[in-house]
Amino acid sequence: MIVIGPDEVIWILLMSILAGFVGALFGLGGGILIIPFLTLVEGVPVPLAVGASLVSVVATSSSSAATYVKDHLTNIRVGMFLEIGSVAGAITGASVAGYLPASVLFILFGVLLLYTTIVMIRARKVDFPTGTIPDKTSTILSLGGEYEEHSRNVVVKYQVTRTPLTLIITYFGGIVSALLGVGGGLINVPTLNLIAKIPVKVASATSNFMIGVTAAASSSVYLFRGDVNPLLTAPLIIGVTGGAILGTRILKTAPPSKVKIAFAILLAAISVLMILKGFNLPIVL
């Protein structure tokens, strides 16, 4: 059993504010900061860190999704369709998470972050995909949409393609969410942007819409196993809610290319720390 004093609660609260901001801005749910902080800095066991992070992802999604829906950034049809795969993956991942050693989860987390970093840097100019031809599923479900791009003062119209492949990938995103407590946004955002050809801001907003449901599905399994500690989750929920409100305001006006670059730099730093931890190599913080 872990002991959490007043000082730890304050630090967790402060970190969760930043995590909520980052989670809402990038569509990740904040887990990419919460998990490294709890495990590397506070020494929290991985199952408890993941359980707490998943509950906070639900809070981040709830805080930011409503704003993005109101601003017509979220593609609700795409989000609801892809939740079929994401929730199924979340239940799968949560069921097997207890059988994997912590070192494997650290390394998996780090490698995934590094992969996402490379993908986002290479695709930093793919902000507004053009010439996209919708596939049959997308046409039947009317998945295309439009939104107002405040950084350019224009209305951007877009189509959605490779829908079946996107659905399959989000299933694995759900598994990642349950294993690592990150909400699946690490998979969702690059997939929606690069595979389905959805503008990056819409990808981020739609991912925020999805991750709450995905995290709720997997966190229920952690709760049943006793891996959700109230002293961890309470300050996390309070902090990420406040941070998420700020993040949603920034995304509306931020240039998409700068969003991607900032995202990639952050992921690269954290990926190195997690891989070092997985191999039990020294970390200087």
Note whether residue 283 is domain-resident.
no
CA distance 249 to 211: 19
Q: How many structural domains does the chain have?
A: 1
- Residue 143 domain-assigned? yes
Residue 139 has which token pair? 């046409």
Closest residue by Cα to residue 275 from 49, 103, 35: 103
pLDDT along the chain (285 residues), means of 10: 74 87 72 82 86 85 80 92 93 84 81 76 66 92 90 87 95 86 79 89 88 86 87 87 81 66 75 80 57
Phi, psi of 282, rounded to the nearest 5 degrees = -65, 140
SS3 call for 214: helix
Is residue 83 included in any domain, yes or no? Answer: yes
Tokens coding 269: 């730093």
Please report whether residue 257 resides in a domain: yes
- Are the beta carbons of 34 and 57 closer than 8 angstroms? no
First-to-last CA distance in the chain?
Answer: 25
* Domain of residue 252, residue span: 6-278
CA distance 28 to 45: 22
Q: Does a structural domain hold residue 129? A: yes
Classify residue 58: in a domain, yes or no: yes
Q: Say if 52 falls within a structural domain.
A: yes
The tens digit of pLDDT for each residue in 144-170 reads 999 988 777 888 899 999 999 999 999
pTM for the structure as a whole:
0.81
Residues 6+ apart with CB under 8 A from 104: 278
Compute CA distances 208 → 9, 23, 66, 137, whole Å. Answer: 26, 8, 10, 23
CA distance 186 to 184: 5
Q: Does a structural domain hold residue 285?
A: no
Cα separation of 273 and 74, whole Å? 32
Share of the chain above pLDDT 90, in %: 18
